[in-house]
Amino acid sequence: MVKTAVNLCGVELKNPIIPASGTFGFGYEFAELYDINLLGSLSFKGTTMELRFGNPTPRIAECYEGMLNAVGLQNPGVDKVLSEELPKLKACFDGPIMANVSGFSLEQYRETVRKLDAEPQIAWFEINISCPNVHGGGMSFGTNPEAAASVVAEVRKVTKKPIIIKLTPNVTDIVAIAKACEEAGADGISLINTLLGMRIDLKTKKPILANKMGGFSGPAILPVATRMIYQVYEAVNIPIVGMGGVSSAEDVIELMLAGATAVEVGAANLRDPFACKKIIEDLPRVMEKYKIEKLEDIIGGAH
């Protein structure tokens, strides 16, 4: 009997599969399709201090082996997330959840986390300093080691729960930023977020996205994710949550061998709402195929 359980920053998960923020709503929407309690956890929709309508449309563009999105962190704001969204999730999911938090200033990051910290079901904070779709914040914190570290230090003031920093791949040296986050007190690193991309409509001769550029995700970015997870694993001593192009149980194994403790599934959920369910159900078969008895034993196994 294979064992799929993993331990992420002291929290036991029945399996490493976590739907990625922005691709799974607040979770309860998917509970209408299947029992989401089979998930290891879920990272709910990126939450900011105030309500955000996001970017103008069109926000989505198709690509070969992937997609572009420029949604722009649309969400109802932290107060409504606490009063309306999380109670609906709690009614259909009894496992630990990951709170994905975004901000446009250190104060916004700190205050959003402070408000969410009182929710007992939240086991970790996934702090997004890597969104390529917003102006005046987001990715700007994640492209500089000192700025990234300052977010970690500010959030640490208001929570004792594990802080996992979500990094952008749109940098020259991902390792330097990951190390700066670890030194500032981060408990884990989450990577990779989307790559910055663009498409142009040949008929209009203009960018397809109203935002001009957006986040490129999907199967095509898996090799980039694998490389960056591998590099960061060799440089830090804290757990990694891997993501980027995952669409199969084989992909999960690959990212874990590179160094991921848990694996998020993003764009695949938008193509197939049953993607996470299928991956979890297929994990035992793939583990047996590659003679893996315990998933925890293969973390970083490619090094």
For residues 142 and 42, what is the distance between their CA atoms, to the nearest angstrom?
22
Query: Are the C-beta atoms of 68 and 221 separated by less than 8 Å?
Result: no
Residues annotated as part of the active site:
131
β-bridge partners, 196? 215
Which residue matches tokens 């670890």?
A: 182
Q: Tell me the torsion sign for CA atoms 48, 236, 265, 244.
A: positive
β-bridge partners, 195? 216
β-bridge partners, 12? 7
The tally of CA atoms less than 13 A away on the side-chain side of residue 296 is: 9
Nearest by Cα to 193 from 23, 57, 2, 8: 23
Query: Are the C-beta atoms of 196 and 215 separated by less than 8 Å?
Result: yes
What is the residue type of 195? L
Query: Are the C-beta atoms of 130 and 217 separated by less than 8 Å?
Result: no
Query: Are the C-beta atoms of 189 and 178 separated by less than 8 Å?
Result: yes
* Number of neighbours of residue 224 by Cβ within 10 angstroms: 16
Task: Output DSSP code: residue 140.
Answer: G
β-bridge partners, 13? 6
β-bridge partners, 219? none
